[in-house]
Structure 1
């Protein structure tokens, strides 16, 4: 178990101490959090989020064959690469004017549902769960652990842990019972994905127009046997986490303010319904609303729009305090002035973006990170939307729209109802995720648990629909296509951690411009041109400190819980670019002779 040790940069006899957690642990080590901690008021005064490596995919995508886009962009991340491949395929489907056969789309949905189950499970139980385990709480809040050991767990009869302290012990890394059980779950959920798309995390059978997977009854049976094990697991997990998270509210009054920020949530929707989705931009507003995760922009708890065309046109890329030259001020080419429906497209839209690196010394008043500042423009303000780690935005948007109803899940307008059928050892169960009062660390984590159950329930529906196709003899999974000379296209989906879009411009049959925007640039963005902090920064600023340690031994557990509740994953935000035509060579001399194969 590790917790990032903060670095202190001011005298210890002052109330305000400048601290940094760089790198933040349990993710790729290029995220840094720099904060001013007021130990007298016991809160964070100011926060800056940094990303220390340059992201360059938009540069080396230019000139490539569009058909290679999903294979290349999959490598953006070694964690959610399939989400990028899927989004790129959606993007290409629009560019080529095609849609997969229904069976092909159900297979893609089953793969993405398995990815949600796999990734949320391993992060929730084996990464962020450690922040709430016995060993961590003992180190930072021994008084809370003492109370946890004497507090009966309300759902003990369901999950099997008598006290909250027992739940915390089960989360201890490597030795905790529940921690180890979750590791086994991550194994068979990854197998589920591989059954549908060949391999994880870079799919080998996913293409524009569908998949190369051979669809058989046996294939879906193999998936379903694993899925039912996961369904049974979720019947234990949801009440366990409800007990744990509710306890923190009770044990630490005011803990709802840890990681809290204004409710500004974005969801681009995911899991298409092939009965409606034709991937045409002209009909995107309609088929977007038919997704099994409904797109939406949520402002102060209210649904502003669930129209993907409107969402697309509102995206702005502000450079703010990042290490880039402004392409608008530099007079660079504008690729798209109007979308396929004739709507005007802003010069700061991803279709028109140019990535011009401009490295500099870190300066909080000027540039301090390689992460740009994506914003959503509502006609008046550039809103710093966050994804809440993905699930809270997805469930909130789906709940408010009230459009999803497939038997296993139903959106009510104020909640999402999840029905899990009888399994080998447990009866049928119904869970209901209700829209919370806050967008904070606890509710982001709670939503991650409920969305695991939501994904499992949807996977049951997708399996039934896929089997219907096979039994009816409709076994085609791929549609032929041709690459056009000219095209403007976009793909929208939800990566595990939230919003994901791929924007592409094709000229002369090649990629002229390509910009993937995953959740990390949104959540981890820096202060923008207007001085608005990014979501990590905003969520940490004004966070109260409940840790019992004095400044000399302060760990910053409340800061880490706030940041990690977003499920930070920096590979999507950063990548290396070597410059125009430069070749980098690395010579490795092994210490022992190596025999050739």
Structure 2
């Protein structure tokens, strides 16, 4: 599938001299994301942006009436990329609803699986999808003057990654022919194997359940995982300095490039990697075990930490509609009026949400997307939080909270330190991600993704060591039994690869009465809400300068594409399929037709 670009020749310019341009669908991602813009070529600026999605699926509808124990298997299929993140989050919500605490070894295994997923997905997206935006072929077509400067610019960390100039790095990123592009594909195989060792199958885990995992934990299992992990650690010692050189070059080569994709710093992180020494999944203790996560949850507003309390985060979630294709639920049932601590729960909270699809013709001045508009209410404003592509929010929240100081990682209050041990060919390396003075922009979202790959690898080293302690002590139980209550509620919080992920479940008569998963894409790709506030994609794109050297007749929109892809968009989680009244298809088979021929 290719992106259709509507050009000035197709559409003409409006009376104000603005040109309508659309990229629909956006390529190199899954799902039907369309970006519609108005561009002022005279001022070299994107003045307006609308983020659209044209497909509806109804997980929140057909989950009703299901056995709660099936929730993780069903919701895993929301996405064929981060399905395991959904399964994990669903199991967290079920653990809370059932009142079950998995054995420590079971939780270390889940952490090892999720760490492998972060390493796998960030690697393949960064190097084989985002990297193409910065490769020699792309830069030669959009900014030949920048490529010429790259040929003359020595790479500061050439001794660490082996590329003499910035142009050499760009050539290495060329799709299919670049040596680094091909190397990253091989690395993605190691990380997928690591995941399968822990959870049986990628991307829909077969050994992950509420109460723990079905994985048989042995020293050999951990050895197989560690042998691949250490190769990945060695790879990261090359990748981080290489990307630092590349991204720093763009700031130097194009003055003002820090404004590309820049929006107000409004970041949300729901935390990741449970500490089984603290976590019991009880709502009453959620503040404590949330802060014990190895990725600290938090809401960051204008660069400052507002809260890292998962109870506050949970209660602040609001689902707004605005420009999305749904009818409101003001007059429908409230499932949860108070949380287990007695705090009031808003009607617009996921526990109380109803999904009422209302398909209609797209109108950019009214309704134009199937993605709803999640917001976080701080008591005054409904904030359009974004995930920073996932890693930016995770590292920023963890750094400011300064709660992590274990194994190979430490949060300092202004940075995150990552210590990678000696590997086969390289000595120990210490890395440090620092809160970027540029703020939340396109380059820093991409840079954070590289550093978080190293962070996930360092965390995995710690998790493997802790798992081996349990195995060697003979504490090899990985699953705890439970009973499904007749009535109950649960919420799960974690980080999908692209950012915040929550699952909210209500159980009645032993069945699911309400279920709402909220992955990162609805938070990032949403349209203007009922207050007229643009969604994060829209906000990051509109107002950004244009540095592409092509004239408007040959404009490719590379800076717009870089900005959207910096969020790591993945639309299956945010959009849904709608069948209207439905159709019945009758298939008639000939009596002589063989089963195999059907």
User: Which TM-score applies when normalising by structure 1?
Assistant: 0.97
SS of the residue corresponding to residue 202 of structure 1 reads: coil
Q: Does 1:267 align with 2:269?
A: yes
Counterpart residue number, 2:358: 358
Counterpart residue number, 2:371: 371
SS of the residue corresponding to residue 492 of structure 2 reads: strand
- Kindly report which structure 2 residues correspond to 1:117-266, keeping only aligned pairs within 5 A, or say none: 117-266=119-268
Q: Does 1:540 align with 2:541?
A: yes
Conservation of the 8 A alpha-carbon contact between 2:211 and 2:481 = yes
Counterpart residue number, 1:439: 440
Conservation of the 8 A alpha-carbon contact between 2:128 and 2:181 = yes
Instruction: Tell me the distance in 1 between the aligned counterparts of 2:300 and 2:536.
Output: 14
Instruction: Tell me the distance in 1 between the aligned counterparts of 2:281 and 2:596.
Output: 51
1:106 corresponds, among 105, 108, 119, to: 108
Instruction: Tell me the distance in 2 between the aligned counterparts of 1:292 and 1:63.
Output: 35
Conservation of the 8 A alpha-carbon contact between 2:3 and 2:23 = no
Counterpart residue number, 1:488: 489
| Change in CA separation of 1:365 and 1:31 when aligned onto 2, cut-off 3 Å | same
Counterpart residue number, 2:521: 520
Instruction: Tell me the distance in 2 between the aligned counterparts of 1:586 and 1:428.
Output: 63
Conservation of the 8 A alpha-carbon contact between 1:4 and 1:25 = no
Instruction: Tell me the distance in 2 between the aligned counterparts of 1:320 and 1:389.
Output: 23
Counterpart residue number, 1:38: 40
- Kindly report which structure 2 residues correspond to 1:449-464, keeping only aligned pairs within 5 A, or say none: 449-464=450-465
Counterpart residue number, 2:500: 499
| Change in CA separation of 1:221 and 1:510 when aligned onto 2, cut-off 3 Å | same
Bigger shift: residues 44-53 or 574-583 = 574-583
Deviation at residue 55 of structure 1 after TM alignment: 2.9
Conservation of the 8 A alpha-carbon contact between 2:3 and 2:24 = no
Q: Deviations over 1:167-208 (max 9, x none)?
A: 000000000000000000001100000000000000000000
Q: Does 1:417 align with 2:420?
A: no
Instruction: Tell me the distance in 2 between the aligned counterparts of 1:39 and 1:585.
Output: 55
Counterpart residue number, 1:400: 400
Counterpart residue number, 2:97: 95
Counterpart residue number, 2:325: 323
Conservation of the 8 A alpha-carbon contact between 1:153 and 1:161 = yes
Conservation of the 8 A alpha-carbon contact between 1:6 and 1:556 = no
Deviation at residue 13 of structure 1 after TM alignment: 9.5
| Change in CA separation of 1:123 and 1:508 when aligned onto 2, cut-off 3 Å | same
Conservation of the 8 A alpha-carbon contact between 2:13 and 2:20 = no
- How many residue pairs are counted as aligned between the two chains? 593
Q: Deviations over 1:249-295 (max 9, x none)?
A: 00000000100000000000010000000000000000000000000
Q: Deviations over 1:479-507 (max 9, x none)?
A: 00010000011000000000000000000
Instruction: Tell me the distance in 2 between the aligned counterparts of 1:584 and 1:378.
Output: 49
Deviation at residue 366 of structure 1 after TM alignment: 1.4
Instruction: Tell me the distance in 2 between the aligned counterparts of 1:155 and 1:101.
Output: 44
Counterpart residue number, 2:568: 567
Deviation at residue 407 of structure 1 after TM alignment: 2.5
Structure 1: where are the runs of 5+ without partners? none
Q: Deviations over 1:335-377 (max 9, x none)?
A: 0110011000000000000000001111122100000000000
Conservation of the 8 A alpha-carbon contact between 1:43 and 1:543 = yes
Conservation of the 8 A alpha-carbon contact between 2:55 and 2:578 = no
Instruction: Tell me the distance in 1 between the aligned counterparts of 2:493 and 2:162.
Output: 40
Instruction: Tell me the distance in 1 between the aligned counterparts of 2:541 and 2:106.
Output: 43
Counterpart residue number, 2:552: 551
Q: How well do the aligned residues superpose, as a CA RMSD in angstroms?
A: 1.8
Instruction: Tell me the distance in 2 between the aligned counterparts of 1:441 and 1:503.
Output: 31
SS of the residue corresponding to residue 298 of structure 1 reads: strand
SS of the residue corresponding to residue 51 of structure 2 reads: strand
Q: Does 1:50 align with 2:52?
A: yes
Q: Deviations over 1:366-409 (max 9, x none)?
A: 10000000000000000000001100000000000000011300
Conservation of the 8 A alpha-carbon contact between 2:68 and 2:512 = yes
Conservation of the 8 A alpha-carbon contact between 1:268 and 1:493 = yes
Q: Deviations over 1:109-162 (max 9, x none)?
A: 000000000000000000011000000000000000000011000001110000
Counterpart residue number, 1:307: 309
Conservation of the 8 A alpha-carbon contact between 1:520 and 1:569 = yes
Deviation at residue 574 of structure 1 after TM alignment: 1.4
Counterpart residue number, 2:512: 511
Deviation at residue 3 of structure 1 after TM alignment: 6.8
SS of the residue corresponding to residue 127 of structure 1 reads: helix
Instruction: Tell me the distance in 2 between the aligned counterparts of 1:585 and 1:219.
Output: 48
Instruction: Tell me the distance in 1 between the aligned counterparts of 2:568 and 2:19.
Output: 26
- Kindly report which structure 2 residues correspond to 1:56-95, keeping only aligned pairs within 5 A, or say none: 56-95=58-97
Instruction: Tell me the distance in 1 between the aligned counterparts of 2:326 and 2:365.
Output: 15
Instruction: Tell me the distance in 2 between the aligned counterparts of 1:588 and 1:41.
Output: 65
Q: Deviations over 1:298-327 (max 9, x none)?
A: 000000000000000000000010000011
Instruction: Tell me the distance in 2 between the aligned counterparts of 1:413 and 1:173.
Output: 38
Deviation at residue 28 of structure 1 after TM alignment: 1.9
Deviation at residue 7 of structure 1 after TM alignment: 4.2
Instruction: Tell me the distance in 1 between the aligned counterparts of 2:114 and 2:453.
Output: 12
Deviation at residue 579 of structure 1 after TM alignment: 4.9
Deviation at residue 226 of structure 1 after TM alignment: 0.1
Conservation of the 8 A alpha-carbon contact between 2:31 and 2:572 = no
Deviation at residue 580 of structure 1 after TM alignment: 6.3
Deviation at residue 16 of structure 1 after TM alignment: 1.6
Conservation of the 8 A alpha-carbon contact between 2:106 and 2:212 = yes
| Change in CA separation of 1:449 and 1:3 when aligned onto 2, cut-off 3 Å | farther
Conservation of the 8 A alpha-carbon contact between 1:3 and 1:555 = no
2:298 corresponds, among 296, 301, 311, to: 296
Structure 2: where are the runs of 5+ without partners? none
Conservation of the 8 A alpha-carbon contact between 2:370 and 2:576 = no
